[in-house]
Amino acid sequence: MSRFRSGAGRAEGRRSAGEAPETPAPDAKRQRTASGWSSWFTTPWRWSSPGTADAAAGGAGGAAAFASGQDQLDTAADCEYAGADGEQPAAEQCDDTEFETLRPRTPAAAALPNAAALLAASPAGDGSSGKEAEASRPGRPEATEAPGAGAGASGDAVAAETQAHASTEGVVVPAGSAEVQAAGAGDAIVAGEPRTLGHWPARTVAASSGRIMPPALPRSPSPAAGPAAGPAALPLAWRRPRRSIASSGATSPSRGSQRSISTTSSSVAFSQLLRPNAAGIVSKKVPRVGLTFMMKERARNSEYAASRLQSSYVPLSADAQSRLSGKAKQISELKAYMATIDRLKQEHSRQARQTLARSVVRDTPQKASLALPRLSTTAPRASERDGKPDWLVSLREKVEKYGGIEHRDIDTPLYNQLLAKESEAEAHIDQLRLEDSPPIAKLPPDAQKLVESVMSGDRVVVEAFGVKILSKDIRTLKDTTWLNDEVINFYGEMCMKRAKQAQDKFPRIHVFNTFFYEQLRTRGYSSVRRWTKKVDLFEKDLVIVPVHLGAHWTCAVINLKQKRFEYYDSLHGSNPTCQELLREYLKSESLDKKKTPIDLSDWEDYTPKNIPAQQNSYDCGVFTCMFMEHSARQAAFRFSQRDMPMLRTRIAYEIIKAELL
Amino acid sequence: MSDEKKDSLQHINIKVVAPDQSEVFFKIKRTTPLSKLMNAYCERQGKQRSSVRFMFDGARVEDHATPEQLEMEDGDAIDVMVEQVGGFWAVN
């Protein structure tokens, strides 16, 4: 319990049960209604201190649900899993219901984003919401088929099933029920009183298709508007690219109505089972979707994630606050927040796998089929069964099921939301960093005119580095045009020139032209062996390789100082092939030019995803130029999509002048 | 000095390699500007001069450069590259 109190420090939220929700404080910042969240989102980078914002105005449902007694909160604290260490904040508790709704919460709600508290409070605390759920329940579709709609506790298959039983058979689960497999039972223990299952308000998260439902904004007190509205209303608008974790290259799971790995809510028995570091290797997979889709998703998700950011905020100590200021402070807060998300993620995947493992071990047919939605539960083929005793067949099945657990994707709504939150926080940090940095140097007053006049002409604009740049090449820098190789190569030459002219200021670099990678890829080392007859790569700090991928520009850098192969893609793609090619190239180059093999075993591939991102279908060339130029002076990438129009003019101007500004 | 020998000293065989690996051979005086070769190649291939790039050992071949200046040897290759553009990569 102490964790809740200290971590959140919002004792005022602990009111006696049944007390009416607090009226919003007069402070404007505290008057964020549900719609206020969205307006906050539209200016996401003005991140007002969450310390004030988390005190969302009390709405009807959420606030009342949290007007629970302190003893219930204390009980909820018992649910904290055993593996948690003392420093972890309140948000540590891992449960789907943390994300249940976006409805305004009292400070207590913000302080206790974990489900146990939510659930403990919900049935007993507020009569109206309880009644509402009660009233609406009979009309609910069979929960097994719509886990998102029916499952209150965890949105998973097990919970859905249990609840279906509860609603149809009227099962009452008493406190202390030994069975904690299902979420509802676990929470009954938490609540410390017998109650029927299925009290939960309508779920706003649908597990069935990996879609995230829009959180039910302040729930209407009308019973009719309850669960029916939730899942049906806006499923498509909230679809997000499915992310999954996978180790050892496991492929995405097949879709199915119940393919989520289930997790229980924090239950007492489970807390005994949890072990740290049991989650296995977790790696994100990039969704295979187009840019437009990604951009739309990003916009949609940010509102939700941004609001979550605030409600899970844990304030810094006064001392730390005084040391930090402004954006730097926000960045550090966000970093702490991301660390929390990371722990939540690990905890969640651990729980999910635990649940799965337990259900396999028990292997009652019903639960196994529910908890193992993606496993083949079909009987072994006749050929497999031939000549084998039944016990061997069933044992083998169990082993197969269990053995795959560590490698299975976690694909619960909660996990996807955690991932979304994480990437959102990351983007937020980037943006703050950017805003914190000095603006890019302004263009000379006549630059715009000069560039325009050059673009409209038809002549040789400049002749340098053995290249004639024509007006038509400069025109590729116009508005939404794709950049061509001449511009990128000329820009690379200018970077080299700058580095040569001021060797004390800039790293020693070599910039290959845009055909290098293509040659290396298609014709191998021998085709580029002579490209370095006049240059010794091994005395450079950086070797910059602009990469052309059919219709896309990216930038690879061999960082000889930091011993890594860097790859910067404005669409945040990866290109291990490129890094491998460059690795092989460097080995061959060493053998050819230095006559000695080079050991690159401790050189790492570096593909950061927190770099400025392109948000349209034409600016990657400009981004690539910027990646090159910033890499060439080892500067942080302090530019973003919004700078691109200006940077186009700037690059054109620099090319015309044949010198970087 | 025989005419043949004189000829081999003055002239040089250079192949031009297209992206599709097709090769076109040219015999050119060591002191002749390579613009002649490049223009001839473009004419022959029906290409616009401004849409292709001639590279020798990774460096652009300038119009006024001669084989002598570039230290070309008999049988050396000039690569022809086609203009590259890019702005966006739809799906990885």
Q: What ipTM does the predicted assembly reach?
A: 0.91
> What's the pLDDT score for residue A412?
77
CA distance A410 to chain B (A): 23
Decide the pairing of beta strands B23-29 and B52-56: unpaired
Distance CA A140, CA A465 (A): 73
Confidence of residue A388 (pLDDT cuts 50, 70, 90): low
Q: Is a pLDDT exceeding 70 seen at residue A482? A: yes
Q: Give me the residues paired with residue B49 across strands.
A: none
Give per-residue pLDDT as tens, B36-83: 999 999 999 999 988 999 999 999 999 999 999 999 999 999 999 999
Residue type, A496: M
Over residues A266-275, mean pLDDT: 39
With contacts defined as CB-CB under 8 Å, which chain A residues touch B88? Answer: 291, 482, 551-552, 571, 614, 616-618, 620
* More confidently predicted of A564 and A437: A564
Distance CA A218, CA A516 (A): 58
> What's the pLDDT score for residue A483?
93
- For chain A, list residues whose CB is within 8 angstroms of any CB belonging to chain B: 286, 288-291, 465-467, 470, 472, 476, 481-486, 512-516, 518-519, 528, 530-533, 548-553, 571, 573-574, 614, 616-621
Give per-residue pLDDT as tens, A2-59: 333 333 333 333 333 334 444 434 443 334 333 334 333 333 333 333 333 333 333 3
Cβ-defined contact of B86 to A621 (cutoff 8 Å): yes
The single residue listed with the structure tokens 């460059």 is A582
Range ranked top by mean pLDDT from A192-196, A308-312, A508-512, A548-552:
A508-512
CA distance A613 to chain B (A): 12
Q: Is a pLDDT exceeding 60 seen at residue A183? A: no
> What's the pLDDT score for residue B24?
93
> A496, A541, A525, A652: which is closest to A593 by C-alpha?
A525
- Determine contact, residues A427/A621, Cβ cutoff 8 Å: no
Residue type, A478: K
The single residue listed with the structure tokens 């995947």 is A349
With contacts defined as CB-CB under 8 Å, which chain B residues touch A513? Answer: 55, 58, 60
Burial of A98 (0-12, 13-18, 19+ CB in 10 A): buried
DSSP type of residue A137: G
With contacts defined as CB-CB under 8 Å, which chain A residues touch B61? Answer: 466
> What's the pLDDT score for residue A282?
42
> What's the pLDDT score for residue A446?
87
> What's the pLDDT score for residue A490?
95
Distance CA A129, CA A223 (A): 9
- Determine contact, residues A430/A302, Cβ cutoff 8 Å: no
With contacts defined as CB-CB under 8 Å, which chain B residues touch A518? Answer: 81, 84
Q: What are the tokens at A396? A: 């083998």
3-class SS of residue A314: coil
Distance CA A156, CA A262 (A): 5
* More confidently predicted of A328 and A107: A328
CA dihedral A217, A220, A226, A228 (to 10 degrees): -70
Distance CA B28, CA B69 (A): 13
Q: Is a pLDDT exceeding 70 seen at residue A634? A: yes
> What's the pLDDT score for residue A438?
54
Distance CA A47, CA A645 (A): 26
Confidence of residue A444 (pLDDT cuts 50, 70, 90): confident
* More confidently predicted of A106 and A509: A509
Cβ-defined contact of B81 to A485 (cutoff 8 Å): yes
Interface of B with A in 12-71 (CB under 8 A): 50, 53, 55, 57-62
- Determine contact, residues A146/A208, Cβ cutoff 8 Å: yes
CA distance B8 to chain A (A): 24
Decide the pairing of beta strands A509-511 and A542-548: parallel
End-to-end CA distance of chain A: 59
DSSP type of residue A58: P
For residue A9, which phi and psi values (nearest 5 degrees)? Answer: 60, 35
Distance CA A152, CA A198 (A): 7
> A42, A101, A571, A13: which is closest to A293 by C-alpha?
A571
CA dihedral A342, A343, A345, A346 (to 10 degrees): 120
What does the radius of gyration of chain A's CA atoms come to, in whole angstroms? 29
Report CA-CA distances (Å) from A192 to A116, A189, A425, A509, B43: 12, 5, 37, 68, 89
Nearest by CB to B87, which of A518, A519, A551? A551
> What's the pLDDT score for residue A297?
64
Nearest by CB to A476, which of B85, B89, B90? B85
Range ranked top by mean pLDDT from A167-171, A185-189, B88-92:
B88-92
Distance CA A636, CA B11 (A): 52
Confidence of residue A254 (pLDDT cuts 50, 70, 90): very low
Distance CA A370, CA A364 (A): 10
Burial of A633 (0-12, 13-18, 19+ CB in 10 A): middle
Cβ-defined contact of A617 to B59 (cutoff 8 Å): no
Distance CA A56, CA B5 (A): 93
> What's the pLDDT score for residue A488?
95
Distance CA A567, CA A10 (A): 45
Cβ-defined contact of B58 to A530 (cutoff 8 Å): yes
Over residues A399-424, mean pLDDT: 73
Q: What are the tokens at A154? A: 């965890």
- Determine contact, residues A625/A477, Cβ cutoff 8 Å: no
Reported as half-sphere exposure (CB side, CA atoms, 13 A), residue A217 has a value of: 13
> What's the pLDDT score for residue A300?
62
With contacts defined as CB-CB under 8 Å, which chain B residues touch A574? Answer: 92
Reported as half-sphere exposure (CB side, CA atoms, 13 A), residue A238 has a value of: 25
With contacts defined as CB-CB under 8 Å, which chain B residues touch A533? Answer: 57
DSSP type of residue A76: H
Confidence of residue A387 (pLDDT cuts 50, 70, 90): low
End-to-end CA distance of chain B: 63
Give per-residue pLDDT as tens, A557-577: 999 999 999 999 999 889 999
> What's the pLDDT score for residue A15?
39
Cβ-defined contact of B59 to A528 (cutoff 8 Å): no
Burial of A501 (0-12, 13-18, 19+ CB in 10 A): exposed
* More confidently predicted of A656 and A74: A656
> What's the pLDDT score for residue A257?
37
Which residues, in sequence order, are CB contacts of A563 under 8 Å at separation 6+? Answer: A600, A602, A603, A604
CA dihedral A339, A343, A345, A346 (to 10 degrees): 140
Q: Which residues of A431-463 are buried (b: 16+ CB within 10 A; e: fewer)?
A: bbbbeeeeeeeebeeebeebbeebbeeeeebbe
Q: Please report which helix (H) or strand (E) contains residue A352, including its range.
A: helix A326-362
Q: Which of A462, A463, A486 to mutate to test the interface with B (most CBs of B within 10 A)?
A: A486
With contacts defined as CB-CB under 8 Å, which chain B residues touch A543? Answer: none
Confidence of residue A319 (pLDDT cuts 50, 70, 90): low
Whether the model clears a pTM of 0.95, i.e. scores above it, the answer is no
CA distance A493 to chain B (A): 11
Cβ-defined contact of A483 to B50 (cutoff 8 Å): no
Q: Is a pLDDT exceeding 60 seen at residue A178? A: no
Q: Which residues of A267-283 are buried (b: 16+ CB within 10 A; e: fewer)?
A: beebbebbeeebbbeee
Give per-residue pLDDT as tens, A303-312: 555 554 444 4
Confidence of residue A514 (pLDDT cuts 50, 70, 90): very high
Decide the pairing of beta strands B59-60 and B52-56: antiparallel
Q: What is the mean pLDDT of chain B?
A: 87
Cβ-defined contact of A519 to B62 (cutoff 8 Å): no
Confidence of residue A334 (pLDDT cuts 50, 70, 90): confident
Q: What are the tokens at A96? A: 């789907």
Lowest model confidence (mean pLDDT) among A543-557, A571-585, B78-92: B78-92
> What's the pLDDT score for residue A340?
87
> What's the pLDDT score for residue A546?
95
Report CA-CA distances (Å) from A653 to A466, A484, A512, A645, A656: 19, 16, 22, 13, 5
> What's the pLDDT score for residue A372?
44
Nearest by CB to B87, which of A290, A533, A617? A617
